[in-house]
Amino acid sequence: MNQLLLILLFPLLLTVVSLFKGSAVSKWAFAASIVPLLFTIGLINKFVPDASTQFLIDLPWIPSMGIHFKLGVDGISMMMIILTNLLVPIIILASQKHKYSNPNAFYALIFFMQAGLLVVFTALDGFLFYIGWEAALIPIYFICALWGGENRIRVNLKFFIYTIAGSLIMLIAIIYLHLQTPDNSYDIASFYKLNLPANIQGWIFIAFFLAFAIKMPVFPFHTWQPDTYTEAPTAGTMLLSGIMLKMGIYGVIRWLIPVAPLGFSEWGQTAMILSIIGIVYASVIAFTQKDMKRLVAYSSIAHVGLISAAIFAWNVQGLQGAMIQMLNHGINVVGMFFVLDIIIRRTNTRDMTLMGGIAKVAPGLAIGFLILLLGSVGLPLTNGFIGEFLLLMGVYNYNIWYAAVAGLTIIFGAVYMLRMYQKIMFGELNERTSLFGDIDLTEKAVLLILCVLVIGIGIYPNPLLHISEASVINLIEQVNQKILVK
């Protein structure tokens, strides 16, 4: 059996088994989630890091409508598969301390979402891409609605309206592109070959951009994000921030710019300016936050804004930075929300001004928290450094002044993140923190895995950069050639 098909089908199998699994479903779910990661390691071993599409699956699905079940992997897709199948086991392991009502449904939804994400990251058919896009949205909606906080219904409705509106606009664009293909196809290669007028490509760009900008999110389409991250259960927040927002970033790279290169030529700078505004805006808002989860949520908007700006710079450094930083951001933000979850469960508050002195009674947590925080702010020899260095270099090569403003995310991020660490970890103990217990074995395991990834990728990022390099260069050359011809 094709290894890619195995990686896609196994989470669906786990979805069904989870629903009927008896006791100890959480421990079983973690053990089962490691299997797709092992399959991914096997896929990497057979992967040739060139610009070709490998492990191709092309099966007629609805031939009369030109719809195929077509998937494949290149260096860009491979990075997304690694991201998804690495973080899902970590997220499930991090959820072990929570006692969810109906845990069978909870873990089944996570596995179903994993399958949807993998379809998005490997689809080579526009209709299949849209199906995966919606399939990933449905389970996270129910995860947030069923196991979220007090305001989950109102917040989740806003999240759903935003994302479904963007998705429907994208679907209209996909159907329009399909109707323009001479071979009645949704194939991405057919979309790439279309030679549409510049004004039509401008509208296609806007339609795709709205869907992807909402998902990332990019200013001013971000307003659903802080509330949703805050009200979602911790596992839901990790899935949203660690993996799901990467759907939007991946969509820009794979579908938006190559399908509408002339639209990108016209609107790309506007998209970059919105991304940079989002960096500064989110960073300033983060300074004012007392709620730890909201602070990290705004921090995520700022970091994703830098990734988005570097993509629209459309050069090798920016795109390579985006590829590795998607993985790094996922690791770091999942780690940050995990640490905050430990603190919130022990103190029963998200207000960091009510804390203090935790490092005195929980040195293990303090060390893990610090390593993850330093990765988030891009300290040299942590994973965040190489990603942010390449991102800023990409923006710098596009425009030095844009890079100067975008670089504020590093300065601001260091200030508000270290300030949060100081308020939580240092100072005097109080009635909330004096009985704070240090991390147990499961929590140590999660933090150890995350910290090893932060330091390991920071010291030696080259293998990951090598995976995506050829595909990135090839895609840039394809788009630039179309722009130059016009």
pLDDT digits (tens, 9 = 90+) for 133-147: 999 988 988 888 888
Q: Return the structure tokens found at 116.
A: 């949807």
Which of 177, 55, 64 minimizes the C-alpha distance to 121? Answer: 55
Stated pTM of the model: 0.92
Alpha helices (runs of H) in 348-432, residue ranges in sequence order: 358-361, 363-376, 383-398, 400-406, 408-425
Q: Is 67 helix (H, G, I), strand (E, B) or coil?
A: strand
Q: In this structure, are residues 122 and 81 in contact, taking their beta carbons and an 8 Å threshold?
A: yes
Please tell me the predicted confidence (pLDDT) of residue 44. Answer: 92
Q: How far apart are CA 10 and CA 130, in angstroms?
A: 21
Please tell me the predicted confidence (pLDDT) of residue 485. Answer: 64
Q: How far apart are CA 468 and CA 483, in angstroms?
A: 23
Which of 104, 115, 183, 188 minimizes the C-alpha distance to 475? Answer: 188
Please tell me the predicted confidence (pLDDT) of residue 486. Answer: 54
Which residues on adjacent β-strands are paired with residue 69? Answer: 59
Please tell me the predicted confidence (pLDDT) of residue 412. Answer: 87
Q: What is the pLDDT of residues 218-256, one digit of tens each?
A: 888 777 778 788 888 888 889 988 898 899 999 999 999
As averages over each run of 10 residues, the pLDDT of the chain (486 residues) reads 85 89 80 92 91 89 88 93 94 85 88 94 93 90 81 79 87 92 89 89 93 86 80 86 91 92 90 91 87 88 91 93 93 92 88 85 90 91 92 92 87 88 86 81 91 94 93 92 75
Q: In this structure, are residues 242 and 250 in contact, taking their beta carbons and an 8 Å threshold?
A: no
Residue with tokens 């640490």: 339
Please tell me the predicted confidence (pLDDT) of residue 129. Answer: 94
For the chain, how big is the Rg over CA atoms in Å?
21
Q: Return the structure tokens found at 222.
A: 């971000």
Please tell me the predicted confidence (pLDDT) of residue 163. Answer: 84
The contacts of residue 135 (CB under 8 Å, 6+ apart) are 112, 113, 115, 116, 119
Please tell me the predicted confidence (pLDDT) of residue 413. Answer: 86
Q: How far apart are CA 448 and CA 407, in angstroms?
A: 30
Angle at the Cα of 211 (from 206 to 216), degrees rounded to 5? 115
Domain that includes residue 117, residue range? 3-485
Number of domain units in the chain: 1
Angle at the Cα of 277 (from 274 to 282), degrees rounded to 5? 120
Ramachandran region, residue 436 (left: φ > 0; alpha: ψ -120 to 50; beta: rest): beta
Q: In this structure, are residues 412 and 336 in contact, taking their beta carbons and an 8 Å threshold?
A: no
Q: How far apart are CA 221 and CA 205, in angstroms?
A: 16
Please tell me the predicted confidence (pLDDT) of residue 410. Answer: 83
Please tell me the predicted confidence (pLDDT) of residue 1. Answer: 58
